[in-house]
Amino acid sequence: MKIAVIGTGYVGLVSGTCFASWGHDVVCADKNTQKITSLEYGVVPIYEPGLDELVERNFAAGRLRFTCDLGEAVKGASVVFIAVGTPPRAGHGDADLSFVYMAARELAPLIDENTTVVVKSTVPVGTGDIVQKIIASVREAGTFSVASNPEFLREGVAIRDFLEPDRVVVGVEDERARKVLTELYGVPLEACNTPIVVTQRRTSELIKYAANAFLATKITFINELADLCEQVGSDVGQLALGMGLDKRIGASFLNAGPGYGGSCFPKDTMALLRTAQDHGVTLRIVEETVTANEARKRRMALKVMDALGGDVEDLTIAVLGLTFKPDTDDMREAPSVPLIETLQRFGARVRAYDPAGIENAGKVLSDVELHRDPYECARGADAVVVVTEWDDIRNLDLARLMKIMRQRILVDLRNAFDPGVAEQVGFRVSAIGRATATRHDPHIPTAPPFAAAYVSPAQRAGAVHFETIGGSIDNG
> Which residues are known catalytic residues?
264
DSSP secondary structure of 423-449 = HHHT-EEEESSB--TTSS-TTSPPPPS
Q: How far apart are CA 30 and CA 236, in angstroms?
A: 45
Say how far residue 461 (Cα) sits from the centre of its chain.
39
Q: How far apart are CA 415 and CA 59, in angstroms?
A: 41
Q: What distance separates the 2 farthest-apart alpha carbons in the chain?
A: 77
CA 292 from chain center: how many Å?
18
CA–CA dist 50, 192 (Å, integer):
20
Are residues 352 and 336 in contact, defined by beta-carbon separation less than 8 angstroms?
yes
CA distance 277 to 412: 38
Instruction: List, in order, residues 6 or more apart from 378 with CB less than 8 Å away.
Output: 318, 320, 351, 353, 384, 401, 404, 405
Using CA atoms, how far apart are residues 409 and 316, in angstroms rounded to an integer? 11
Q: At what angle do helices 236-244 and 201-232 cross, to 10 degrees?
A: 140
| Calpha distance 82→150 (Å, rounded) | 11
Rounded to whole angstroms, the Cα distance separating 258 from 55 reads: 34
Q: CA 358, CA 336: separation in Å to the nearest integer? A: 12
The C-alpha atoms of residue 416 and residue 114 are separated, in whole angstroms, by 52
Amino acid of residue 195: P
Instruction: Say whether 304 sits in a helix, a strand or coil.
Output: helix
Cα-to-chain-centroid distance, residue 34:
26
Strand 453-454, strand 467-468: pairing:
antiparallel
3-class state of residue 170 by DSSP:
strand
Helices in 142-200 by DSSP H: which ranges?
Answer: 158-163, 175-186
Give DSSP secondary structure letters for 195-227. -EEEE-HHHHHHHHHHHHHHHHHHHHHHHHHHH
